């Protein structure tokens, strides 16, 4: 997708990974990679150890893919056969999951000690969501008009990613926060999307 928010996410995440690994020597996996736009951008930047994971995956020809993975299921990391990665990304995934904590525990199993997890999700702390909750009783973009029209569950924003709750889940799963950034708007009050950069804590 090439809407402004998707472009900002792609630029923000790929730029962060490039800053962390200027030599481009990192094994990177994109969880819930969809059409593979982020992986294509990373390949353009010189990364060549790339994997895309998801239910239906469309990635560049030089990128490894693992399909048929339901990120809501317990134990989905077993499908990777003990593989681990330097960087794991999940852009606009967390808010679609029934059990985001279980997802993060599975992600931790795939993360090398000291490896990075980069998450993006809708910023429910911005002014639009605050007003939406005050007026309509729901955050902007969550449980919207499609909710009762038989749309598949994965197509809905069902987990409200309050920052403190996400941080709590990350800590329980074995990650520490490195930084929080906001994309497509400045700061928590105006940013459309939150970007959490996290590091795996050594056991």
Domain ranges within the chain, ordered by starting residue: 4-124+160-200
- pLDDT value of position 148: 55
Q: Among residues 153, 44, 47, 42, which one has the least CA distance to residue 91?
A: 42
52 token code pair: 């895309």
- pLDDT value of position 3: 87
DSSP state, residue 154: G
pLDDT in tens, 37-67: 999 999 999 999 999 999 888 898 889 999 9
Q: Among residues 95, 76, 104, 121, which one has the least CA distance to residue 174?
A: 104
- pLDDT value of position 112: 96
Instruction: Write the CB contacts of 137 (distance below 8 Å, at least 6 apart in sequence).
Output: none
pLDDT in tens, 92-145: 999 989 899 999 999 999 999 999 999 999 999 999 889 988 888 878 777 666
Residue 154 has pLDDT above 80, yes or no: no
Strand partners, 116: 87, 199
- pLDDT value of position 157: 83
pTM across the whole model = 0.92
Q: Considering the domain 4-124+160-200, what is its CATH architecture?
A: 3-Layer(aba) Sandwich (3.40)
Residue 147 has pLDDT above 70, yes or no: no
Measured distance CA(120)–CA(193) in Å, rounded: 7
3-class SS string, 25-88: CCCEEEECCCCCHHHHHHHHCCCCCEEEECCCCCCCCCCEEECCCCCCCCCHHHHHCCCCEEEE
DSSP state, residue 17: H
- pLDDT value of position 74: 93
- pLDDT value of position 144: 64
- pLDDT value of position 60: 87
Asked if residue 143 lies in contact with residue 159, where contact means CB atoms within 8 angstroms, the answer is no
């Amino acid at each position: 997708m090439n809407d402004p928010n998707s472009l900002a996410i792609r630029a923000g995440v790929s730029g962060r990974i490039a800053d962390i690994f200027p030599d481009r020597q990192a094994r990177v996996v994109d969880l819930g990679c969809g059409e593979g736009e982020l992986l294509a951008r990373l390949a353009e930047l010189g990364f060549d150890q790339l994997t895309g994971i998801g239910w239906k995956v469309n990635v560049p020809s030089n990128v490894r893919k693992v399909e048929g993975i339901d990120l809501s299921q317990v134990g989905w990391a077993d499908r990777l056969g003990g593989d681990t990665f330097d960087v794991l990304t999940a852009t606009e995934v967390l808010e679609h999951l029934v059990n985001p904590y279980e997802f993060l525990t599975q992600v931790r199993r795939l993360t090398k000690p000291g490896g990075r997890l980069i998450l993006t999700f809708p910023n429910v702390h911005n002014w639009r969501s605050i007003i939406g909750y005050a007026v309509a009783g729901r955050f902007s973009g969550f449980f919207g008009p499609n909710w009762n029209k038989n749309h598949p569950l994965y197509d809905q924003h069902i987990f409200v990613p309050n920052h403190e709750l996400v941080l709590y889940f990350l800590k329980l799963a074995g990650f520490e926060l490195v930084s929080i950034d906001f994309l497509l708007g400045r700061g928590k009050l105006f940013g459309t999307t939150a970007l959490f950069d996290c590091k795996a804590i050594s056991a």
